[in-house]
Copies of this chain bind each other. A is one copy, B any other.
Amino acid sequence: MSTQPISANQPHFFEDLAELKRQLTVEGELVEARVSRAMQGLDTRDLDALDEVAIGDAEVNALQMAIDDRAFKLLALYQPVAVDLRVIVAAIKINADLERVGDLAVNIAEAARRYLAAGRALPEQKLLPRMAEIAQTMLHDALGAFVTGNLGVAQAVLERDDALDSLREQTFRELVDVISQHPEVVQPALELLSISRHLERVGDHATNVAEDIFFVVAGEDVRHHAGLTRSE
């Protein structure tokens, strides 16, 4: 942690900053749990669970606004510099990413509902639960790395994104085959395809978080270096 004079003159600064990180962790756990519940609802055909995810994002939204508000006040009150400033700027971006993951949980739940409503079960998709697990672990690790400033963990998150992208492509090919052979299931197959896209995007947001950690810790912008490629 830095020892700039400005921050040192403000005894509450570090408490407020720790609280900002704590709130981001809570938000991260919340959106992870919502993605997980949506995927579980799809797996167990639990419409109640899916409805709950689809309509229940008020808590995420309230938390997101509280975090933005805290970050803004930290900037305005303490006028931090160097690493403290970078942490807060990163927190503002991470907050936006986590809120989008919350939106993606809603999108997954809605697609899962439409899939179940179509009433035609497709061959079991084993790739989707694997994608969900990777995406959630990436997000969890990225947030942990943000709190601890661990660049090794952040780097590992960046590297796992390729595995997720390749599972998404595999899912795409499998579903194209299913649709070609059984055109009557095109609609439910497309819903599963959307879910795979949403999960890939959860991983993209985790990647954003991991990239922000390099900016915070090293003052470096890794986003467009090191052969990082991404698709949205």
Contacts and interface: CB of A to CB of B under 8 A. Distances in A.
B232 A201 contact: yes
A190 B191 CA distance: 12
A4 to B, nearest CB: 10
Nearest to A110: B231
A179 interface: yes
B75 A224 contact: no
A96 interface: yes
A208 B103 CA distance: 13
A137 interface: no
Interface string A59-103: 001101100110110011001011001100100110010001001
A184 interface: yes
Copies in the complex: 2
B223 A61 contact: yes
Contacts of A75: 75, 85, 89
Given A100-B232, A103-B231, A232-B107, A176 B187 contact: yes
Contacts of A22: none
A77 to B, nearest CB: 9
B92 A72 contact: no
Interface in A30-66: 58, 61-62, 64-65
A104 interface: yes
A61 B75 CA distance: 26
A78 to B, nearest CB: 9
Nearest to A58: B224
Nearest to A193: B190
A172 interface: yes
A197 interface: yes
A38 to B, nearest CB: 13
A41 B68 CA distance: 40
A67 B193 CA distance: 35
Contacts of A113: none
A190 B232 CA distance: 16
A110 B176 CA distance: 18
Most buried by B among A61, A172, A183: A183
